Structure 1
Amino acid sequence: VIEVYDLTKVKLKYCGVHFNSQAIAPTIEQIDQSFGATHPGVYNSAEQLFHLNFRGLSFSFQLDSWTEAPKYEPNFAHGLASLQIPHGATVKRMYIYSGNSLQDTKAPMMPLSCFLGNVYAESVDVLRDGTGPAGLRLRLLAAGCGPGLLADAKMRVFERSVYFGDSCQDVLSMLGSPHKVFYKSEDKMKIHSPSPHKQVPSKCNDYFFNYFTLGVDILFDANTHKVKKFVLHTNYPGHYNFNIYHRCEFKIPLAIKKENADGQTETCTTYSKWDNIQELLGHPVEKPVVLHRSSSPNNTNPFGSTFCFGLQRMIFEVMQNNHIASVTLYGPPRPVGLCTTLYSSVHPWPAGASRGHRLQREAQSLSLDSWTQELSTNKQGGRTRQPLSHAHWEDLGLFL
């Protein structure tokens, strides 16, 4: 959409004839003479605006500046309304767009010449299970490949799905190589954990796969190398990361927790505002976490702080204008990849299973024997350990 809000600073002509210049005022009579007849205009009584619409073009006339109040008749003739506009009314704003209606206009598709070998996401659907987010289903767009004249001039559309617990190799096979790999040096949210002092420090760092053209970040666990978080970016102006990521057109089904709305879901999109989400789901129980971003400790962020609200295994980063800056999705609260290592199989531990032995020794050093010493004998004579309960996992801080 192209909006011209001050017509005194431009010269405009249609079919070689000026309808707006220093000598010609863009009055409603001049618009009728230059563009011809069209459908009746639309009157907005709340804003006191009269919109005259053509194909791909709209003119707005502000009625509150007129000396006489216009006489509006909602039922005039043939199902049409009547609005007597004084002579000499000038255009206040002009809109140029693609399509038949300004309200239904959409941004055109990106030309294939701009893909430059990258893959873009047309839409990203958040998949849910009974407890919360389970993964992402991405509808991807790519240009055809081939050398010289053999290059495919058509756009390729395909779908890929990634889930919590997928391995690094699974994500690479589905989405391709990331634009960047970022290793976390610290976890600034660890202080908000119920028992941060009980968490076993890791010698490895979790790492992100940054897909800038998809608007998605994927966090992998340093030990299991499996997906533990998804981050979806909206790329709104006024955010610290603006113009780094391509906008992620996501759709998130949210479970309604209002009265008489059990089992119903509402969809949150990239363009939803936090006020509307709170009306559907109720206000968060806890106050938001204030997030300050800056390039260095001595610099300030000119865009201001953002606010992080936790809801249904998701964290919504909200800007000061109530737009959503990003959404972080968390996996289910179970020890992904660690449960199986603490189950001893019917066969003896192999000599090279250093990770299994290490975890077994750590479990013994943490006095887990009192919880796991109930041993049973199988038919082959092997011994199996009983799994830890969820309460024990939570006490140990081993949930990923």
Structure 2
Amino acid sequence: MSSALEVDIRPGSGLGPFEIGMSLWNVLDMLRRMQHAFPLVDVKYDPDTATTPVLLHVRPHLDLLFAGYHQRLHTICVRKLRDSSPPITLKYKEYTLSSPEEVLRRLGVNRTFGPTYPGDDLRYPGVSFSFDEDGRGEALKGLKSPDDRTQEVKRVIITQKNPEGGRQDALDEVSECEAMVGEIEKAIVKVHDGITLHFHPSISPPVRIRLGDSTAQDLVCDLGPPLRVHYKEDDRMTIHSRSSDREADADTDYFYNYLQHGIDFLISGSTHTVRKIILHSNIPGSPLFQRYKRCPWEIEGRPEDNEDETPPRMRFCDRADQIRHFLGPDQSPPSMLLDRTDDEEALTLPGSITRLVGYDGLILETTESAQVVSVTLF
């Protein structure tokens, strides 16, 4: 049996443990650790696009909407305030707005938040109060006067505060905020060179990590300690190696897994420099979904000339055929099939097989629906 919920409303900022701007990876990880409070969670998304908005329905009271590109919490909706399984209490500062003993009505909102603009809902900067249950009450509008002070609030919606005062589009990305500090804004990929990481806030200096040059110590200094260190045991790919020396060296290689940034680094066991970099897209429905946070990578092409300051780029959300054409329009690169559920007997997924497409210095892992789930630099 789940325990009662008591959460505070922070207009424009969050609700209880949820902060506007939190990543999908962080929120799902938190829900997994708080199963006693949130035992039932449904994940809804469009499987045909990498930038699908993701909706977490935390039964029965919460809907959490995540923006499609950066997978950050955009909108929080509290519903079924009278559902007692479990009961929920909403607070604002020192006020109790709604509880099992107290029904939230129009009068209570007006007393707490003050006057607002005319309309069917009560809208304030960063929070609104609706008298419809899941929008199904459209046909019932007009049966009660908007001036009826006893109207019961059915939904509370929390979003970022719009500086221009208008309504925020549900498909917009989340503006930079406190919850993003220290997280990756974008990762610029240069084949045969490495990556440049740009962090929030946007004024932070970028971090450059180079293949064969940056060391394990550099990674710890720039990114902090990895969440996991994994010593390489899977040698199935060494059969494709052209160098017997590289095969012998690989026995002592190890991974630094930065799950919180969506990046893996393979480090040489002899020189302790970075040998490979793997960037993960966290595509919903793919075998690696939620193991890594989305790393919003961009592959940078060659500039047209020395004065070109904006060379062409392909992003994680572009389709695999577009990226393949960008990397080698006249090439037919070799590819291999990979089933990531081979080692997980209890796991079955409709799209478990991915394709590895190899280029000089780069490997794309793509799904059957032409989405790129990871990029490997070597």
| TM-score using structure 1 length | 0.48
Q: Indicate the residue corresponding to 2:358 in structure 1.
A: 310
**Match 2:139 to one of 25, 36, 40:** 25
> Computing the radius of gyration over CA atoms, which structure comes out larger, 1 or 2?
1
Equivalenced residues, count: 232
The CA deviation at 1:234 is 0.7
Contact 1:18 1:24 in 2 (8 A): no
The CA deviation at 1:274 is 0.6
In 2 relative to 1, CA 316–24 (structure 1 residues): closer, same or farther, beyond 3 Å?
A: closer
Answering whether residue 247 of structure 2 is matched by residue 140 of structure 1, we say: no
Answering whether residue 186 of structure 2 is matched by residue 123 of structure 1, we say: yes
The CA deviation at 1:233 is 0.6
| TM-score using structure 2 length | 0.51
Q: Indicate the residue corresponding to 1:350 in structure 2.
A: none
Give the 5 Å matches for 1:145-294: 157-165=204-212, 166-194=214-242, 201-202=248-249, 204-255=251-302, 266-280=312-326, 281-282=328-329, 284-294=331-341
Unaligned runs of 5+ residues in structure 2 are 1-52, 56-62, 64-79, 81-118, 123-128, 147-158, 160-165, 305-309
Q: Helix, strand or coil for the counterpart of 2:221? A: helix
In 2 relative to 1, CA 108–320 (structure 1 residues): closer, same or farther, beyond 3 Å?
A: farther
Q: Indicate the residue corresponding to 1:64 in structure 2.
A: none
Q: What is the percentage of aligned positions where both structures have the same residue?
A: 24
Distance 2:239 2:251 in 1: 19
Distance 2:279 2:130 in 1: 49
Contact 2:188 2:197 in 1 (8 A): yes
The CA deviation at 1:256 is 9.6
Distance 2:337 2:228 in 1: 27
Partner letter of residue 210 of structure 1?
N
Distance 1:2 1:319 in 2: 19
RMSD after superposition: 4.1
Distance 1:18 1:203 in 2: 62
Contact 1:313 1:329 in 2 (8 A): yes
Q: Helix, strand or coil for the counterpart of 2:323? A: helix
In 2 relative to 1, CA 328–2 (structure 1 residues): closer, same or farther, beyond 3 Å?
A: closer
Q: Helix, strand or coil for the counterpart of 1:321? A: coil
In 2 relative to 1, CA 139–203 (structure 1 residues): closer, same or farther, beyond 3 Å?
A: closer
Distance 1:276 1:26 in 2: 48
Partner letter of residue 274 of structure 1?
A
Note the alpha carbon deviations across 1:144-171, whole angstroms, 9 max, x for none. Answer: xxxxxxxxxxx98342211112222222
Distance 1:319 1:256 in 2: 29
Note the alpha carbon deviations across 1:310-341, whole angstroms, 9 max, x for none. Answer: 124110111122111000011xxxxxxxxxxx
Q: 226-235 or 311-320, which moves further after superposition?
A: 311-320
Distance 1:192 1:2 in 2: 38
Q: Indicate the residue corresponding to 1:323 in structure 2.
A: 371
**Match 2:173 to one of 93, 102, 106:** 106
**Match 1:14 to one of 110, 121, 124:** 121
In 2 relative to 1, CA 309–161 (structure 1 residues): closer, same or farther, beyond 3 Å?
A: same
Q: Helix, strand or coil for the counterpart of 2:252? A: coil
Q: Helix, strand or coil for the counterpart of 1:133? A: coil
Contact 2:188 2:297 in 1 (8 A): yes
Contact 1:161 1:174 in 2 (8 A): no
Q: Helix, strand or coil for the counterpart of 1:174? A: helix
Note the alpha carbon deviations across 1:338-377, whole angstroms, 9 max, x for none. Answer: xxxxxxxxxxxxxxxxxxxxxxxxxxxxxxxxxxxxxxxx
Partner letter of residue 186 of structure 2?
S
* Relative contact order higher in (CA < 8 Å, ≥ 6 apart): 2
The CA deviation at 1:301 is 4.0
Distance 1:232 1:326 in 2: 5
The CA deviation at 1:307 is 0.6
